[in-house]
Chain A
């Protein structure tokens, strides 16, 4: 069964450093997403991406965040200058058109 994969599974970084979180969506899907989950809280939408551009973003997704589909398989989330409050699980998801979103296993980001 096809699945969304994410790397790395864990990332520890110093405050102010840049991080790139990587995702490989399900191959025939067209919509890609990033969500985050701060420890003990609910999953929050960050951004959706379709046809090589952002289709929607939340208030959380400020200028420190960017997304990219650098090739035909990867989808990345970059945080330019990490803050302590960026510590969270980051989930990538993908869907076929407007259908069900399938989530990856997540990257646990810890900013020190």
Chain B
């Protein structure tokens, strides 16, 4: 069946280091991927997205990489700050745009040590 899963449930990094959060997806028809950040007690906050016709997209301090060959998605956060501490979810649109439904992964907790 469809699934979006994360390799690491918890990632602990030192402030100032770079963080890499990984995600695997199973549906090769997925054409749209999003990373969300969720702080405790809040809703998912959009970070960055990427479509399947790209393999890399950069934002402010964040980069998303998409490897369609192995169905892998990663989020890189440069110079990680304490405010980056949160749960990070990848989500995919699994039906090539025929639906807006998002399927979320299980989440990775990023803990930034000062």
Contact = CB atoms under 8 A, between A and B. Distances in A.
A106 B102 CA distance: 17
A31 interface: yes
Interface string B90-114: 0100000101111111110000000
Interface in B63-112: 89, 91, 97, 99-107
The size class of the interface chain A forms with chain B is: 20 to 34
Contact of A103 (B41, B45, B100, B105): B45
The size class of the interface chain B forms with chain A is: 20 to 34
A57 B104 CA distance: 15
Contacts, number: 52
Nearest to B4: A42
Max chain B C-beta neighbours (<10 A), residue from A43, A95, A103, A105:
A43
A16 to B, nearest CB: 27
A93 B104 CA distance: 14
Nearest to A4: B43
Contacts of B41: 106
Interface in A83-104: 91, 95, 98, 100-104
Interface of A: 4, 31, 33, 35, 41-45, 48, 55-56, 58, 91, 95, 98, 100-106
Interface of B: 34, 36, 41-46, 49, 89, 91, 97, 99-107
15 contacts: A35-B102, A42-B89, A42-B104, A43-B102, A43-B104, A44-B104, A45-B102, A48-B100, A55-B100, A56-B100, A56-B101, A95-B100, A98-B100, A103-B43, A106-B43
